[in-house]
Amino acid sequence: MNTPKIALITGANKGIGRQIAAELIDHGFIVLIGARDPNKGQQTAEELGPEARAIQLDVTDSASIDTAKQKISQEYGRLDVLVNNAAIAHAGVGNRSLDELTQAAQPSLVSMDELKQVFETNAFGALAVTQAMLPLLRQAPAARIVMVSSGAGSLSAHADPNFAMRKHFGAVYGPSKTLLNAFTLALAIELEDSGIKVNAANPGPTATEFNNFFGNRTVKDGAAEAVRLALLDDDGPTGTFSGFTFSGENGPNPW
């Protein structure tokens, strides 16, 4: 009998993270539902079935990360897939429009407290979780790390004066994903001889609670690239940024 693979997904109790979890379960994984609120994580795990297991995990809390690592080590001894999905769009007043968020994120005006909170979750938290889980990932024969990024972090796209979303590139969410992309590439380079593949996925404009349901893509659309990267064969790529493109098809994204 084949031993099920083990996947950990941060921020998996709702939205794209939950969809990634559901699809990996369909591919035979045991999926650990990382959630800051253990009650919400448990509710999601119960909804997804017996192959979903809740695990309390706050990516901004080193003690929480260490406790999760120890639990996974004791119960499973390895980790086959890590999906760093947990993220926040902002850390200020809720229910603001895209234009209001854009204005608040201008580098000349941005709240340093908000900036630090977003970077702590979206970039530093992802790297902290990855560092903690690497010993467990090394125990798997062919581990995969997926960073759920965003086209909002593409410097190349926003440097183009004709790019439609250029005016929305501020100092908060977009640059936090730019840094996440940099961490993705740095990890891929460090781990390229280990067999661990590290890639970034762009879900595109997916309508979820995360963005006040702005966007025309479903959670299944948004999860598709992260799932593909989690299931890469041995000859699959590492150090890539891919997913939603404005052509309507998933493909390579500009860094």
Active site residue 76: no
Question: From CA 215, how far away is CA 218, in angstroms rounded?
Answer: 8
Which of 231, 22, 69 shows the shortest CA–CA distance to 143? 231
Annotated catalytic residue within 76, 173, 183, 210? 173
Contact criterion met (CB below 8 Å) for 130 and 196: no
Confidence of residue 213 (pLDDT cuts 50, 70, 90): very low
pLDDT in tens, 35-78: 999 999 999 999 999 999 999 999 999 999 999 999 999 999 99
pLDDT number for residue 207: 59
Structure tokens that stand for 58 in this block: 């706050």
Mean pLDDT confidence for 108-126: 96
**Which domains, ranges and CATH numbers included, belong to the chain?**
6-249 (3.40.50.720)
Contact criterion met (CB below 8 Å) for 185 and 237: no
Q: How many CB atoms lie within 10 A of CB 39?
A: 11
pLDDT number for residue 104: 84
Does position 80 have pLDDT exceeding 90, yes or no? yes
Q: Structure pTM?
A: 0.95
pLDDT > 70: percent of the chain: 94
Mean pLDDT confidence for 88-97: 76
Q: Any alpha helices (H) in the chain, and if so which ranges? A: 15-26, 38-48, 62-75, 98-104, 112-119, 125-137, 155-158, 173-191, 219-230
Higher pLDDT pick, 205 / 228: 228
Confidence of residue 97 (pLDDT cuts 50, 70, 90): confident
Mean of the per-residue pLDDT values of the chain: 93
